[in-house]
Structure 1
């Protein structure tokens, strides 16, 4: 497929005349997608097909390694491809890794048994980890090596920069030269360098987000996903801004700002670094219902205002089973990202996820992901509408059970049904 020139790409931006009062308009994205579509692996016709095509990129399944430790270097990303993950999103990079200084310990876990428990199921995970602390040149070299070795697999670069147009343009240019298939923009990291207008500091400010998205989408020649922060009142607003400013996809959610807990023996917060801590990002199973709510909100907005054929939604949050993934897809997600789940269960988790998702599809006779993507979205409505629906249902049930009011209502033609309407068993 022929690629578009930069002139064509620039005409796809929607930055002019922006305001937060959007009309019910369906946006059609002039395509920057479809550059790299590969044949799917052959499967038995009796087996459900897990392959997906997202923004023109073909993946063997919808399971994507989320940006973070599981995509931190060549060795682990190669392992992810070898295990069968549909795509890999590398750990976020910026131009100057020297700014990034991590501490350890930097994780804390929440178990079902409560504060201080060392037993029981892990339901929550917090991190105070920053973006990649490895030199950009090293990461770029490894991106290129991965694409050389796995040309038919999808590698996505996650990038984040300061509020500086030239820096964003330089980073995009250097990352694209490695051959990555797409770019995910980290507008959502809840901790680390917010004073430089990085991460969630951009994702929480729609005006700033629109400006930065404009820079990015004028420069990028591969599909762009904007990763959203849940630490905002209405997540659909920045998602709308990102899409209307030229991004092809939305990824949501990043971690939730949190304090994991206080050690009741030492009275110090966790994770504890030299006796001190800082709020961090919360993930794992406990955030799954929150992520479902945020993804539903974005999906409803996208369905109402954007051409879903050209835009995509990548869902993130507490995925450890095929059922967790199915829920996100039922809400309209094209792909499902896993990060903390890999840290807890290993890269082989993708096999379990695939088997369980196929079992769900067999149960409902779904042959492909598209057969059920978004199928549950229509069943979300307002509380006012729920009241109306329930009142109408009660009214109908009463009408069925009421039977005849008096002897004068009997008819010859409907005599049997009229009799049955007054039977109690």
Structure 2
């Protein structure tokens, strides 16, 4: 069984990487990941000057991260003169250097960090009009592959990707945090964190369906374009789902801030067993498997295995049409049942079949 991924002749031991953010913003964090099981390392986004971040800036609640983070608090000179040289002395994994944001920034940042990078990830707040010039600028400053990070606020993201590729991008990272949003504290009658009128950005498992959809559609439109997925990963199955959807590599950030950074090693350790369960021989094999976008469910009435059912009544409580009841066993009113699939998807012991 192989977990290896090859991108532009660079080999990653496995597809899981940390995403750009606070957990990769200092030398001690980068050294931690160098000695962990992840397949590669990504830096926090580097710009000319260090960011001044309002505090507090991160809240974890309901399996979601809310943040008002910016780019690295350290200027590029700190990265080029201290952090990256120290990492280079010991690094044993591929390194993706995240940079931002303007063409002027690129002229000052990229030459200073180019020698340390295997890839560049470009974080941009700009739309279509400025994108082409920005990508051309960074590509003129390096011969390393440049990946452009897609923000979910971009509506016509296929056109965005097309323009990035036309101007030299060699890959896409999808997606960035979702927002702006807001988190409110009833006790203080105020936002918990927020900038510019209470804005914060949202990440974590709740944004995974959006990220999956975009990755799948980018892959459909660009069959040979390398894609790094990002958004909502919290377990080994999520990594494999993103690869089936079309990703080559997968980044995680928010779930490690909710559950702890040990989650990275756990996911990598879990991958072989999960792959065996789903009869996947290698990451490459899964990557080359076409994702069916037509549901294969039966759409019939639910069938309950009474030998497995624990009679917890969850299906009874959640059925939209109150078509299920509990007597000695779970009973179905077939005239009410609309074959929606909710009961089967929520059964904690997989005792229900026949719908999905």
In the superposition, the TM-score normalised over structure 2's length comes to 0.78
Answer whether contact 2:34 2:93 (CA < 8 A) is retained.
yes
Counterparts of 1:351 and 1:90 in 2: how far apart (Å)?
18
The higher radius of gyration belongs to: 1
- The number of residues matched between the two structures is 296
Counterparts of 1:277 and 1:88 in 2: how far apart (Å)?
34
Deviations 1:74-93 (A, max 9, x none): 11111011112111110011
Asked if 1:300 is matched to 2:213, the reply is no
Counterparts of 2:222 and 2:289 in 1: how far apart (Å)?
14
Q: Which residue of 1 aligns with 2:293?
A: 380
Answer whether contact 1:288 1:319 (CA < 8 A) is retained.
yes
Please list every run of 5 or more consecutive structure 2 residues that lacks an aligned counterpart in the other structure: 300-356
Please list every run of 5 or more consecutive structure 1 residues that lacks an aligned counterpart in the other structure: 1-47, 112-122, 188-199, 391-425
Counterparts of 2:180 and 2:273 in 1: how far apart (Å)?
35
Answer whether contact 2:121 2:149 (CA < 8 A) is retained.
yes
Q: Which residue of 1 aligns with 2:351?
A: none
Answer whether contact 1:155 1:180 (CA < 8 A) is retained.
yes
Q: How does 1:150-299 map to 2 (within 5 A)?
A: 150=91, 152-164=92-104, 167-177=105-115, 179-187=116-124, 200=125, 202=126, 205-271=127-193, 278-299=198-219
In the superposition, the TM-score normalised over structure 1's length comes to 0.66
Runs (4+) off by over 4 Å: none
SS at match of 1:83: coil
> Larger RCO: Structure 1 or Structure 2 (Cα < 8 Å, ≥ 6 residues apart)?
1
Answer whether contact 1:125 1:283 (CA < 8 A) is retained.
yes
- Given the superposition, is the C-alpha separation of residues 332 and 374 from structure 1 closer, same or farther in structure 2, using an over 3 Å criterion? farther
SS at match of 1:372: helix
Counterparts of 1:277 and 1:102 in 2: how far apart (Å)?
15
Q: How does 1:23-172 map to 2 (within 5 A)?
A: 48-97=1-50, 100-111=51-62, 123-140=63-80, 141-150=82-91, 152-164=92-104, 167-172=105-110
Counterparts of 1:249 and 1:343 in 2: how far apart (Å)?
27
Give the drift of 1:313.
0.4
Answer whether contact 1:55 1:248 (CA < 8 A) is retained.
no
Answer whether contact 1:80 1:88 (CA < 8 A) is retained.
yes
Counterparts of 1:371 and 1:278 in 2: how far apart (Å)?
45
SS at match of 2:101: coil
Deviations 1:73-128 (A, max 9, x none): 1111110111121111100111122xx211111122332xxxxxxxxxxx211100
SS at match of 1:84: coil
Give the drift of 1:296.
1.3
Give the drift of 1:315.
0.2
Asked if 1:341 is matched to 2:255, the reply is yes
Q: How does 1:388-403 map to 2 (within 5 A)?
A: none
Deviations 1:321-349 (A, max 9, x none): 00111110001100000111222233322
- Given the superposition, is the C-alpha separation of residues 207 and 272 from structure 1 closer, same or farther in structure 2, using an over 3 Å criterion? closer
Counterparts of 2:161 and 2:194 in 1: how far apart (Å)?
34
Counterparts of 2:138 and 2:96 in 1: how far apart (Å)?
15
- More strand as a share of residues: 2
Asked if 1:313 is matched to 2:227, the reply is yes
Answer whether contact 1:288 1:318 (CA < 8 A) is retained.
yes
SS at match of 1:319: coil
Counterparts of 2:186 and 2:257 in 1: how far apart (Å)?
27
Answer whether contact 1:71 1:91 (CA < 8 A) is retained.
yes
Counterparts of 2:185 and 2:290 in 1: how far apart (Å)?
41
- Given the superposition, is the C-alpha separation of residues 285 and 101 from structure 1 closer, same or farther in structure 2, using an over 3 Å criterion? same
Counterparts of 1:106 and 1:350 in 2: how far apart (Å)?
23
SS at match of 1:251: strand
SS at match of 1:94: coil
